[in-house]
Amino acid sequence: MQRLKISNISRYFNDLRALSQHRTSSSVTDDLCNQVLVEGKANSRMAILNRPSALNALNTNMGAKLNKLFKAWENDPNIGFGSGRAFCAGGDIVSLYHFMNQGKLEECKDFFRTLYSFIYLLGTHLKPHVAILNGVTMGGGAGVSIPGTFRVACGKTVFATPETLIGFHPDAGASFYLSHLPGHLGEFLALTGAKLNGAEMMACGLATHYSVSEKLPLIEEELGKLVTDDPSVIEACLEKYSDLVYPDKNSVIHRIDIVDKCFGLDTVEEIIDSLESEASLINDPWCGSTLRLLKEASPLSLKVSLRSIREGRFQTFDECLVREYRMSLQGVSRLISGDFYEVSNFQILNKHV
The 10s digit of each residue's pLDDT in 26-48 is: 434 457 778 888 888 767 888 88
Distance of CA 120 to the CA centre of its chain: 14
Enclosing H/E stretch for 190: helix 185-192
Report the C-alpha gap between 60 and 56 in whole angstroms. 12
Q: Which residue positions in the chain have pLDDT lower than 50?
A: 1-3, 6-7, 9-10, 13, 16-17, 19-29, 341, 345-349, 351-353
Total domains, the chain: 1
Kindly state whether residue 155 falls inside one of the protein's structural domains. yes
Kindly state whether residue 240 falls inside one of the protein's structural domains. yes
Kindly state whether residue 27 falls inside one of the protein's structural domains. no
C-alpha distances (whole Å) from 219 to each of 83, 85, 159, 205 are 11, 11, 21, 20
Query: What is the distance in angstroms between the CA of the first residue and the CA of the last residue of the chain?
Result: 28
Task: Please identify every residue annotated as catalytic.
Answer: 91, 140, 163, 171
Kindly state whether residue 105 falls inside one of the protein's structural domains. yes
Give the up-direction half-sphere exposure of residue 134: CA atoms within 13 A in the CB hemisphere.
Answer: 18
Domain at 136, CATH number? 3.90.226.10
What integer pLDDT is reported at residue 111 of this predicted model? 93
What integer pLDDT is reported at residue 23 of this predicted model? 43
DSSP SS3 for 210: strand
- pTM of this prediction? 0.86
What integer pLDDT is reported at residue 228 of this predicted model? 82
Pairing label, strands 44-49, 150-153: unpaired
Kindly state whether residue 284 falls inside one of the protein's structural domains. yes
What integer pLDDT is reported at residue 34 of this predicted model? 86
What integer pLDDT is reported at residue 337 of this predicted model? 63
Q: What is the Rg, in whole angstroms, of the alpha carbon atoms belonging to the chain?
A: 20
What integer pLDDT is reported at residue 317 of this predicted model? 97
User: What are the CB-based long-range contacts (under 8 Å, 24+) for 202-207?
Assistant: 202/153, 202/245, 203/246, 203/247, 203/251, 203/253, 204/253, 205/181, 206/146, 206/151, 206/153, 206/159, 206/177, 206/181, 207/133, 207/151, 207/152, 207/153, 207/157
Cβ count within 10 A of residue 340 = 26
Strand order in the sheet with 44-49: 36-41, 44-49, 81-85, 129-133, 150-153, 209-210
What integer pLDDT is reported at residue 313 of this predicted model? 96
Kindly state whether residue 26 falls inside one of the protein's structural domains. no
**Domain limits for position 108:** 1-13+32-350
Kindly state whether residue 23 falls inside one of the protein's structural domains. no
Kindly state whether residue 25 falls inside one of the protein's structural domains. no
